[in-house]
Structure 1
Amino acid sequence: MTAVLVLEDGRVFHGTSYGAEGETFGEMVFNTGMTGYQETLTDPSYHRQIVAMTAPHIGNTGVNEEDPESERVWVAGYVVREPSRVASNWRSRGSLEDYLADQGVVGIAMPGTRALTRHLRERGAMRAGVFSGPALAPVEELLERVRAGAAMEGADLAGEVTTTRPYVVPAIGERRFTVAAVDLGIKAMTPHRLAERGCEVHVLPASVTAAEILESAPDGVFFSNGPGDPATADGPVEALRGVLEAGVPFFGICFGNQVFGRALGLGTYKLRYGHRGVNQPVRHQGTGKVEISSHNHGFAVRAPLRGTFDTPFGPGEVTHVNLNDDCVEGLRLLERPAFSVQYHPEAAAGPHDSAGLFDDFCALMERGRAATDAGTSTATSTEGRNSA
């Protein structure tokens, strides 16, 4: 079946239908991961985005029931170069194309994914549409419909992907800590990584208030990844300020890092084409150590890369920087137990260089509990891998 991909600047790519037949609209982005396509499809951070895979061959291992990061596919559309003709893996339960069709995801298989990626790197992420069927409208008409779509800047999307009700992920083995996790678009592997470390994770909706977060007296608070423009996240920012004021240990990732930045009084901005993939080099400012990390974000925090800066909660600093573009990749407070990173330490399907950040969070909670028992302050309890 014929299919076309139309970008808002008028660039058009031709191919064949892949997945469901029909039409879809969203922000056009690309993912550089060589593996993990099922995790990408089910990551809520991709809500309202059309994702192009730069790896040339997609679908080799089919789909299974273990790897999804949520209960549904969130990408608005999917672009691949060459779909695998055979799904071959001992865990496979079906083909990727059938999976996309069952989920109603409109996609396109086309020879120009390299040209598309180069175009987006030069022109930036932009609105797009994928159209497939036996009789497509003229390109001029399709372009008008693409340009009528909503842009990602100013999009408040966390409320569209968050859980509708609180739920609990029990600790694996002995329960050591209680963590309140605010779901801004959380991936299933994140509470699992915490549960592996003895954390009972109480996952809460994005609309939760500081009082509701602190109601269960958690040992720590976590803010997840998620989609949309962080400039619209006034509710989560206000809730986090209440958490920081209470002095409860805090850890945030991705969208949670951007919310943390705003809570500290920093601004955010849209990247030209974002970071999406499992191969981003991030350097720790204190140690110089470089980690290869998993990313999915189109916005970043604006902060001074060297030295400290003032916040309503004492001095803060940038802990990590992206080596590709000097983007802020991590923040921490110096006098309160709070830190965040822009990338994904849970890293399904990898890499796992940054998994120790969950241990750092547990260490903060351990020190916070000890300080509470002793009746002392936890103000400087932010040492470890994150602040070496």
Structure 2
Amino acid sequence: MRLCQDSSSTPATARLILADGTVLHGEGLGATGAAVGELCFNTAMTGYQEILTDPSYAGQIVTFTFPHIGNTGVNDEDVENASTSSSAAARGAVLRATATSPSNHRARLDLSAWMRRRGIIGVTGVDTRMLTARIREEGVMSAVVAHNAAGSFDEEALIRKAQDWPGLLGRDLAKGVATPSAFSATESDWRLAEGFGTGDPNGPHAVVIDYGVKRNILRRLVGAGCRVSVVPAAASFDEIMAHEPDGVVLGNGPGDPAATAEYAVPVIRKLLEAKVPLFGICLGHQLLALAVGARTMKMPQGHHGANHPVRDHATGKVEIVSMNHGFAVDEASLPDTVEATHTSLFDGTNAGLRLKNAPAVSVQHHPEASPGPQDSFAVFERFVETMRREKAAA
């Protein structure tokens, strides 16, 4: 199938090509070249800079369902990758409308120039409603996004490139976006006219395992009163314990949790045996489930957006949260030692866990994000309370 959405005589400068042979024409923005990945859609109406810099999107091309992306430009403060290793998170972006000139007092650069610096390839003028409907009905699919200023493309070769891509199932991508060496995080929450704050140097020490952790998770931990250290995804139990943690955070990240589990789960099990307080987020939530014997599964479309309702079983309240995951914990596989704490109200999938025999909790959503805007911030405060309580009892 060939779908051309460019009616002018000038050759369209970008293509979005699906593995089934569908070719969509549009105008390019950002970097030139061709990138292959898993095509998904995100329903958020704000936060496109955060989305495109979230390491969890490694290996993916993001279709934005909101039509006006880029109109507020980009700035230096809303970048989410905490490590320079994860500076290239999303492989590409698909937009309905061409971004206008930035109109925001925080803007420092327009979207296309910023994407070019980061190596993100984009295409505009695409029927994103049609794409979203196809993904909803058929599931995520392999695709190639390509940008060439001359409008010259070998479409058959790009179709083969999309068809040959192996997908995310069975792939560990965490090591590729994680920090290569340990570092300390000291930035706290951002405030208008003040910038980022600093934390309590005497607070409980949280060590974050970086599977692709978002910067705002680190800021929220600091804002909740923690001292924060970040270690690589493959850090050993001894390397983590050398930091003398009061608690360990299993961060978010990309790829198949079952693949990352090969090196992450043995470490997590040792931390559980040592009764170190644990807090898992997104991929970290899935890894905690795998560590206690549960299973994970690939989702047809995944959850990607900032308007997802999640019910907290303890309070009965519904939180509006940010989600970004293509795999889910199979709740039916949870052992009796684990209690489900949160549920997605979109499809009933598991969104949180608590271990009955260890100080460990996790959530599938991103509590550091602010769609609610602060519905989920309390989970960080509860984790800090757990660290203080366990330290006092030791």
TM-score, structure 1 as length reference: 0.91
Q: In structure 2, how many angstroms separate the alpha carbons of the residues matched to 1:74 and 1:33? A: 17
Aligned positions of 1:239-278 closer than 5 A? 239-278=267-306
Deviation track 1:109-152 (CA, whole Å, cap 9, x = no partner) reads: 02400000010011111110012322534533321121111211
Determine which of 368, 371, 374 is the counterpart of 2:390. Answer: 368
Gaps of 5+ in 2: 1-11, 187-197
- Residue 381 of structure 1 is matched in structure 2 by none
Contact 2:292 2:335 in 1 (8 A): no
* Residue 212, structure 1, aligned to residue 239, structure 2: yes
> Which amino acid counterpart does residue 19 of structure 1 have in structure 2?
G
Contact 1:258 1:301 in 2 (8 A): yes
Deviation track 1:309-351 (CA, whole Å, cap 9, x = no partner) reads: 33xxxx1111111011111100111121100000111105763
Q: In structure 2, how many angstroms separate the alpha carbons of the residues matched to 1:283 and 1:290? A: 4
Q: In structure 2, how many angstroms separate the alpha carbons of the residues matched to 1:94 and 1:132? A: 20
Secondary structure at the counterpart of residue 332 of structure 2 = coil
* Residue 334, structure 1, aligned to residue 356, structure 2: yes
Identical-pair percentage: 45
- Residue 324 of structure 2 is matched in structure 1 by 296
- Residue 12 of structure 1 is matched in structure 2 by 23
> Which amino acid counterpart does residue 267 of structure 2 have in structure 1?
A
* Residue 230, structure 1, aligned to residue 246, structure 2: no
Aligned positions of 1:125-140 closer than 5 A? 125-133=140-148, 134-140=150-156
Secondary structure at the counterpart of residue 271 of structure 2 = helix
Aligned positions of 1:131-150 closer than 5 A? 131-133=146-148, 134-150=150-166
- Residue 308 of structure 2 is matched in structure 1 by 280
Secondary structure at the counterpart of residue 83 of structure 1 = coil
Q: In structure 2, how many angstroms separate the alpha carbons of the residues matched to 1:349 and 1:76? A: 24
Q: In structure 2, how many angstroms separate the alpha carbons of the residues matched to 1:140 and 1:50? A: 20
* Residue 319, structure 1, aligned to residue 335, structure 2: no
Q: In structure 2, how many angstroms separate the alpha carbons of the residues matched to 1:339 and 1:154? A: 25
Determine which of 78, 98, 104 is the counterpart of 2:119. Answer: 104
Deviation track 1:40-85 (CA, whole Å, cap 9, x = no partner) reads: 1111111111111111001111011111012534110111111222
| Count of equivalent residues | 366
Determine which of 114, 117, 137 is the counterpart of 2:129. Answer: 114
> Which amino acid counterpart does residue 95 of structure 1 have in structure 2?
D
Determine which of 41, 51, 69 is the counterpart of 1:58. Answer: 69
Q: In structure 1, how many angstroms separate the alpha carbons of the residues matched to 2:373 and 2:98? A: 24
- Residue 309 of structure 1 is matched in structure 2 by 335
Give 1:202 shift: 1.0
> Which amino acid counterpart does residue 16 of structure 1 have in structure 2?
E
* Residue 179, structure 1, aligned to residue 201, structure 2: no
TM-score, structure 2 as length reference: 0.89
Contact 2:321 2:371 in 1 (8 A): no
> Which amino acid counterpart does residue 355 of structure 1 have in structure 2?
F
Contact 1:32 1:55 in 2 (8 A): yes
Give 1:217 shift: 2.2
Contact 1:293 1:352 in 2 (8 A): no
Q: In structure 1, how many angstroms separate the alpha carbons of the residues matched to 2:283 and 2:318? A: 22
Give 1:223 shift: 0.6
Q: In structure 2, how many angstroms separate the alpha carbons of the residues matched to 1:350 and 1:127? A: 32
Contact 2:320 2:371 in 1 (8 A): no
23-32 or 282-291: bigger deviation: 282-291
